[in-house]
Structure 1
Amino acid sequence: MADSVEPTGPAEADSASGAAAADKPAGRRRVGVLLVVAVLAFLIDLGSKLLVVARLENHAAIKVIGDVVTLQVIRNSGAAFGMGQALTVVFTMIASAVIVVIWRIARRLYSLPWAIALGLLLGGALGNLTDRLFRAPGVFRGHVVDFISVQHFAVFNLADSAIVCGGILVVLLSFRGSNPDGSVHQPAEKGEK
């Protein structure tokens, strides 16, 4: 039978409860961060698309920085650079799978940087998935609204930007050895196997 040591005074009780609280990861707060970032990314993307469709569709491009950056509405059935235009249903399924994977990771999410990265990915995926589900020509075949045109580059939207920023952050965190659960992978010492 194991002996348990009870705190004898209020100071020891406070330090014992403080130590127990320090051992518990702040998981709920990290999922909250993921959700806040995802909702913000989604709403900013949705709002920007509603605005540009209402104001720019069927109008000439607006020059933001000369001919280098312009705003013009493009309906994209494919992926970046218009690739895979016949694969709209596949892209819809991939976005849905990404959302499910992020949600599964969120159950054990204790890292703030990972919460931000995954929130950006989730918000961006939801933004483009919303277009694919609810825009013409129909459910699972909808065209994504892209409107930021950079010369010699793809036309994209803010959901795409969130996905790229989230993806870059995931790569950087992975290279640093940071894991979504808050642990840090330590590289093996030389000579260890």
Structure 2
Amino acid sequence: MTRRRARNLSPEERRLWSHVARHVKPMKGKMPPPEPEPDEEPAAPPARQVALKPAALPALPPQPKAPSLPPLAPVERKTLQALRRGRKDVDSVIDLHGMRQEEAHFALIGFLHRAQNSGHSVVLVITGKGGAAVSSGLYEERGVLRRIVPHWLRLPDLRSLVVGFEEASPQHGGSGALYVRLRRRRGAG
């Protein structure tokens, strides 16, 4: 078996590796690679690449940087305790059970927008628990809204409205309902 000869990295490859390595946490006892010294002369393209004529490349407009989505956070412990102990009421309630998925999705989006515009901070979304699954079909599912509403609340189009959500306490519907904490409206307060 012949040993392979180690190939040295080009200055461009070293710069690229250094850039990648800066964004990774090193393992215990390992040091990050040293920064490469900047070359005084511009790096020549590798000999294997063929230079394309400038006219052959279409001019792309610069991509605007998409605003980062705010992360979801759990509902604050004090708020949850106050809701569960009855010291705080939910600001508004929507009951989705009995609706079809598409109808429930549009109703939820409209409700959350209206609640935020009204200055509400915590709302209750009732999904229903779903009945017992009937064994008549292999793919029959019960409690579809109960499973899909949390997914909807995590989607980018609702992230600007929702801070976080938690399962409701038994007096508010338990596993068939969610407390949803809303973001403050921009320009309000």
Higher helix share: 1
TM > 0.5 fold call? no
Q: TM-score, normalised by structure 2?
A: 0.29
> Which is higher, the Rg of structure 1 or of structure 2?
2
Q: TM-score, normalised by structure 1?
A: 0.29
